[in-house]
């Protein structure tokens, strides 16, 4: 006789998943149509049917450590075919949000960053106060170290010096990324424990080849290719992803250019001119970010109510932040070139300075929301998904063409 299995349902978790966008999960009657039509579901561990029943039963521990919630790319092909209108794609998205909150370290940040009521405070007030505080301590620090900023004559450095900008964002980002690493380790341990309890998860591929395969899938976005009804998500995601990467490369190079090159005897070229390769890359990245985020917003706004993913605050905050960071970045750049063109080296003392610095301040606030809160916002999905994809390759869960039955979705 098989051993009895004691289930410990977490009713609060069921309510949380419902509140986070999985409001139709109780309609599921386990027909498994969703797992059949999903182009990313795989034979050893088909989804999302099992997640639907786990969610109905409130099996929080099993769900938040389930790699399959991250192997789903939210195409909603399953939701469109669900005969009960249970919206399994939305339930998977809601569970992912809960997983990010669960693994957040410190956990209070996961709750605060994703609380709709706390958004104005967390996204606007806190960054604005911290940035203003950094500006206030600038003078005393420079005086204490008898430091004369060699970049002080530059248009934006006059307002917010490079050394302060780098120290401020680097320290905060490293701090929160430390939290992300803790969360990812806990997630990895959870996946292993989850599989061990189910008698699965034996490694079939080494960690390094698994990582390479997962990275290739991420860089090519090949899993998005399985979407049928919302195929337009792939180019939007692709553009926003590579736009962000381009801007990250430019920012890193700017820091090297300002603070490393002089030690190597190479003259710094920052701030880059319009035709400098890094400025060109920055502008291409900015355009990709704006177009990608803009397309994502339009797709979400025009999604019919029936079957398609209904975006939540968690989704909206992220795509709007991406768009606004891109737009405000261009406004800041235009101010700089116009001011320098009109006033030359004394641009910081010109009439352009006040509006330009106001926009720059806003841009820094938005960048804070995107970068410093990355481990707690929807942005974290990139890292959790990558970890799940590596684990999936490692344990033989993934691979294109493993759809159970090929279905004509037309
Ligand atoms: S979510 Fe819908 S398609 Fe999937 S098992 Fe439940 S009822 Fe069937
Ligand atoms: S949303 Fe798409 S990827 Fe996710 S479970 Fe449904 S069909 Fe599969």
- The string of pLDDT tens digits covering residues 54-89 is 999 999 999 999 999 999 988 888 999 999 999 999
Pocket probe mutation, ligand 2, options 25, 38, 67, 224, max atoms within 8 Å of Cβ: 38
89 lines ligand 1 (CB under 6 A): no
403 lines ligand 2 (CB under 6 A): no
Average of per-residue pLDDT values in the chain: 89
Burial zone of 264 (CB within 10 Å; 0-12 exposed, 13-18 middle, 19+ buried): exposed
Question: Which percentage of the chain shows pLDDT scores above 70?
Answer: 93
Q: Work out the pLDDT band at 353, boundaries 50, 70, 90.
A: very high
User: Can you tell me the distance from the alpha carbon of 167 to that of 164, in angstroms, rounded to the nearest whole number?
Assistant: 5
Tell me the CB-side half-sphere exposure of residue 394, using CA atoms within 13 A.
20
Closest C-alpha to 74, from 94, 49, 53, 99: 94
Q: Averaged over 166-180, what is the pLDDT?
A: 92
Is residue 154 over pLDDT 60? Answer: yes
Pocket probe mutation, ligand 1, options 31, 55, 79, 80, max atoms within 8 Å of Cβ: 31
360 lines ligand 2 (CB under 6 A): no
Closest C-alpha to 38, from 169, 227, 202: 227
Q: Averaged over 252-269, what is the pLDDT?
A: 88
Which of 16-20, 152-156, 344-348 comes out lowest in average pLDDT?
Answer: 344-348
Is residue 314 over pLDDT 90? Answer: no
CA distances from 111 to 90, 108, 376, 377 (A): 20, 5, 8, 10
Which of 124-133, 157-166, 223-232 comes out lowest in average pLDDT?
Answer: 223-232
CB atoms closer than 10 angstroms to residue 289: 26
34 lines ligand 1 (CB under 6 A): yes
Question: What is the predicted pLDDT for the residue at 266?
Answer: 84
Omega cis (within 30) before 106:
yes
Tell how many helices (H) and how many strands (E) occur in the chain: 17, 0
DSSP at 106: S
Question: What is the predicted pLDDT for the residue at 6?
Answer: 72
53 lines ligand 1 (CB under 6 A): no
Query: How far does the centroid of ligand 2 lie from the alpha carbon of residue 66, in Å?
Result: 15
Is residue 405 over pLDDT 60? Answer: no
Q: Work out the pLDDT band at 113, boundaries 50, 70, 90.
A: confident
Tell me the CB-side half-sphere exposure of residue 186, using CA atoms within 13 A.
17
Tell me the torsion sign for CA atoms 44, 213, 202, 382. Answer: negative
User: Can you tell me the distance from the alpha carbon of 155 to that of 144, in angstroms, rounded to the nearest whole number?
Assistant: 24
Q: Work out the pLDDT band at 410, boundaries 50, 70, 90.
A: very low
Question: What is the predicted pLDDT for the residue at 61?
Answer: 92
Is residue 3 over pLDDT 70? Answer: no
Q: Work out the pLDDT band at 183, boundaries 50, 70, 90.
A: very high
Is residue 407 over pLDDT 60? Answer: no
Yes or no: say if 285 and 245 are a contact pair by the CB < 8 Å rule: yes
User: Can you tell me the distance from the alpha carbon of 13 to that of 25, in angstroms, rounded to the nearest whole number?
Assistant: 12
Place of tokens 């605060």: 112
The token pair at 176 is 């929160």
Pocket probe mutation, ligand 1, options 55, 84, 89, 306, max atoms within 8 Å of Cβ: 84
- Bigger pLDDT: 284 vs 301: 284
22 lines ligand 1 (CB under 6 A): no
């Amino acid at each position: 006789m098989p051993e009895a299995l004691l289930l410990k349902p977490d009713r609060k978790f069921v309510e949380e998943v419902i509140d986070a966008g999985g409001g139709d999960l109780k309609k599921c009657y386990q027909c498994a149509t969703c797992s059949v039509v999903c182009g990313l579901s795989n034979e050893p561990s088909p989804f999302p049917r099992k997640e639907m029943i786990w969610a109905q039963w409130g099996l929080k521990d099993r769900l938040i450590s389930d790699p399959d919630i991250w192997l789903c790319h939210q195409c909603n092909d399953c939701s469109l075919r669900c005969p009960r209108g249970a919206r399994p794609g939305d339930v998977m998205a809601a569970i992912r949000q809960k997983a990010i909150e669960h693994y957040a370290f410190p956990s209070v940040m996961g709750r605060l960053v994703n609380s709709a009521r706390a958004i104005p405070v967390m996204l606007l007030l806190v960054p604005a106060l911290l940035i203003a505080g950094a500006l206030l301590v600038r003078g005393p620090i420079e005086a204490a170290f008898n430091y004369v900023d060699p970049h002080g004559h530059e248009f934006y450095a006059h307002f917010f010096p490079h050394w302060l900008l780098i120290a401020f964002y680097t320290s905060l980002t490293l701090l929160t990324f430390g939290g992300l690493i803790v969360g990812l380790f806990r997630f990895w341990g959870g996946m292993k424990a989850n599989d061990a309890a189910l008698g699965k998860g034996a490694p079939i591929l080494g960690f390094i080849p698994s990582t390479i395969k997962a990275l290739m899938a991420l860089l090519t976005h090949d899993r998005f290719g399985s979407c049928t009804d919302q195929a337009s998500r792939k180019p939007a995601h692709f553009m926003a992803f590579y736009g962000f990467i381009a801007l990250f490369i430019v920012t890193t190079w700017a820091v090297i250019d300002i603070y490393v090159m002089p030690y190597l005897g190479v003259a710094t070229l920052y701030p880059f001119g319009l035709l400098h390769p890094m400025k060109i890359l920055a502008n291409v990245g900015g355009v990709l970010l704006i177009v990608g985020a803009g397309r994502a917003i339009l797709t979400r706004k025009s999604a019919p109510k029936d079957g398609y993913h209904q975006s939540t605050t968690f989704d909206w905050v992220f795509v709007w932040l991406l768009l606004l960071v891109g737009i405000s970045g261009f406004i800041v750049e235009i101010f700089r070139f116009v001011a320098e063109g009109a006033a030359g080296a004394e641009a910081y003392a010109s009439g352009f300075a006040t509006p330009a610095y106001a926009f720059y301040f806003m841009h820094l606030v938005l960048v804070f929301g995107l970068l410093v809160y990355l481990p707690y916002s929807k942005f974290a999905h990139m890292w959790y998904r990558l970890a799940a994809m590596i684990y999936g390759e490692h344990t033989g869960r993934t691979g294109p063409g493993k759809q159970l039955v090929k279905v004509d979705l037309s």
